[in-house]
Amino acid sequence: MNHQLGEAYQKRLQSFERPNPAAHSFLQRLEQEGPAHGLWLASATGLHLYKSYAFLAHIQLSNSKSKPFSLVFSKHDMIWVEAHDRSNLLLPHPLVRLVMESSGFRKGWAAARADSVELKANAPQSFYDILLLRLGSLEVDEAQRVAAH
């Protein structure tokens, strides 16, 4: 898969470098290391995370007053036409459990709402390292893609 990351995304990512270096590093590592594990990003209308032909999440690089320099992972209904929706592999429960294992809610660097999980600017690099490993090890069902075509 090739990355379809536009200039607007690159500018937004750059704006995260100082206030949220862990999120900045995580997204850069997804771009660079993700393809070896079938992971890739696309940003035609928003940032979407895929594994092979499976849609995993919409990632919002938020800089609102209520969510300054946060990454918000959510389900999203506009996905690449050839992909199948496997967001259930990440959202909401698997990511919530992973945050809980790291005490992210208790420590205040994560919040969950409906079908989304916000990782705040103070989320530790160690959590993003674990998340990247988990994403790389996800098993997606390629048979669904073949059956759909």
Instruction: Answer whether 0.85 is exceeded by the pTM.
Output: yes
For residue 143, what are its two tokens?
A: 């048979």
Q: Give the containing element (helix H, strand E) for 72.
A: strand 70-74
Cis peptide leading into 92, omega within 30 of 0?
yes
Tens place of pLDDT for every residue, the chain, 149 residues?
555 688 889 999 999 999 999 999 999 999 999 999 999 999 866 799 999 999 999 999 998 888 899 999 999 766 777 889 999 999 999 999 999 999 999 999 999 998 899 999 999 999 999 999 999 999 987 544 444 44
Q: How many residues does the chain have?
A: 149
